[in-house]
């Protein structure tokens, strides 16, 4: 086939994907019967920052520090969602061997967040009451089994960041995220300012509050596992804002959901 005929087809495919990315529909089916609990359903350890975003108020990370677990923000946010969706902890059962836990972890993360609960039900994790306590005790096993940094860089939804984000798109996104967070389906979102690389990060939204002028989202940030953070949508400006922290200077950014369907 001549190259000149291949190019228009490739452009058509890219255009079609761009149009698909503008069709924002909330997914209302809950993935659990209970609300997501930050203190129970998040990982106790942090994604270690590697990229220096040159914030004006904090020194860059020490080059001498041994950062061995970097670029895992998407992997960690996805893992928290997978355990909430596909696992159940049972502290009344005896603790198992490390090899058994490795097998159970693989079973949980083998399921995409886009999948429904399998017929066999949730995978039972014995000996622990929740993901927070399990990850504190079995940190290295989880790090070994949930996936490498490749899962962040090659996440299928990364294509979306190169297309423009209209204010209408962000308004529809905000509404969809609110619906999902309120129906026990915590969405995972990509935070970007592309083509500027002042932030390129993923978090999990687990609740939302609409006060009329703003929607305030409660967020699990893998970079800061100690306490919840907040993402805010300004309805008048139709813009998301993320507060200043140790790796981001704060301000407006664009948001889209990942792990929602085959294109993301």
Is there a contact between 234 and 213 (Cβ–Cβ < 8 Å)? yes
Determine the pLDDT at residue 22: 52
pLDDT at residue 145 above 80? yes
DSSP string, 53-120: ---TTSPPPPTTS---SBS-HHHHHHHHHHHHHHEEEETTSPP--HHHHHHHHHHHHTS-TTSPPPTT
Rounded to the nearest 10 degrees, what angle do helices 98-109 and 73-86 cross at?
90
Lowest mean pLDDT among 10-24, 110-124, 134-148, 171-185: 10-24
pLDDT, residue 14, reads 46
Q: What is the three-class DSSP state of 247?
A: coil
Least confident of 54-58, 147-151, 161-165, 253-257: 54-58
Count of H-run helices and E-run strands, the chain: 8, 8
Q: How high is the pLDDT of residue 199?
A: 78
**pLDDT value, residue 143:** 96
Q: State residue 161's pLDDT score.
A: 76
Report the distance separating Cα 162 and Cα 91, nearest Å: 45
Average pLDDT of 59-65? 46
Pair 183, 157: CB distance under 8 Å: no
Dist. CA 19–CA 205, nearest whole Å:
25
Which residues, 6+ apart, have CB-to-CB distance to 157 below 8 Å?
A: 190, 256, 257, 258, 259, 263, 264
Q: What is the pLDDT of residues 190-245, one digit of tens each?
A: 999 887 777 789 999 999 999 999 999 999 999 999 999 999 999 999 999 999 99
Q: Label residue 148 by pLDDT band (50, 70, 90).
A: confident
175 closest CA partner among 233, 119, 253: 233
Does the pLDDT value for residue 61 go beyond 70?
no
Alpha carbon distance 39, 60 (integer Å): 29
Residue 68: per-residue pLDDT: 77
pLDDT of residue 32: 97
φ, ψ for residue 186 (rounded to 5)?
-65, 115
What is the DSSP secondary structure assignment for residue 28, as one 8-state letter? -
CA distance 79 to 151: 11
pLDDT at 23: 63
Model pLDDT, residue 222:
96
Lowest-confidence pick of 37-41, 163-167, 187-191: 163-167
Digit-coded pLDDT (tens) for 10-47: 444 444 444 444 567 778 789 999 999 999 999 999 99
pLDDT the model gives residue 262? 78
| Per-residue confidence (pLDDT) for residue 162, from 0 to 100 | 81
Give the dihedral of Cα atoms 148, 152, 242, 19; nearest 10 deg. -160
Q: Is the pLDDT of residue 149 over 70?
A: no
Could you give phi then psi for residue 136, rounded to 5 degrees? -70, -40
Q: Quick: pLDDT tens for 80-127.
A: 999 999 999 999 999 999 999 999 999 999 999 999 999 999 999 999
Confidence band (pLDDT; 50, 70, 90) for 246?
Answer: confident
């Amino acid at each position: 086939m001549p190259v000149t005929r291949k190019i228009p087809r490739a452009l058509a495919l890219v255009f079609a994907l761009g149009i698909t990315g503008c069709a924002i529909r909330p997914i209302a089916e809950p993935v659990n019967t209970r609300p997501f609990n930050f203190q129970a359903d998040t990982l106790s350890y942090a994604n270690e920052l590697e990229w220096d975003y040159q914030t004006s108020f904090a020194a860059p990370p020490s080059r001498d520090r041994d950062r061995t677990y970097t670029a895992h923000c998407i992997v960690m946010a996805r893992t928290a969602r997978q355990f909430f969706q596909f696992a159940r902890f049972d502290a009344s059962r005896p603790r198992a061997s490390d090899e058994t836990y490795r097998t159970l972890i693989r079973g949980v993360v083998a399921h995409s967040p886009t999948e429904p609960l399998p017929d066999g039900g949730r995978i039972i994790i014995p000996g622990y009451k929740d993901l927070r306590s399990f990850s504190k005790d079995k940190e290295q096993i989880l790090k070994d089994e949930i996936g490498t940094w490749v899962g962040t860089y090659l996440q299928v939804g990364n294509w979306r960041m190169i297309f423009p984000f209209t204010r209408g798109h962000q308004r529809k996104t905000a509404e969809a995220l609110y619906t999902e967070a309120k129906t026990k389906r915590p969405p995972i979102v990509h935070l970007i300012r592309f083509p500027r690389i002042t932030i390129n990060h993923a978090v999990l939204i687990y609740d939302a509050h609409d006060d009329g002028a703003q929607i305030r989202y409660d967020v699990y940030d893998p970079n800061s596992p100690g306490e919840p953070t907040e993402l805010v949508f300004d309805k008048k400006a139709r813009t998301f804002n993320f507060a200043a922290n140790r790796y981001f200077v704060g301000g407006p950014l664009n948001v889209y959901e990942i792990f929602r369907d085959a294109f993301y």
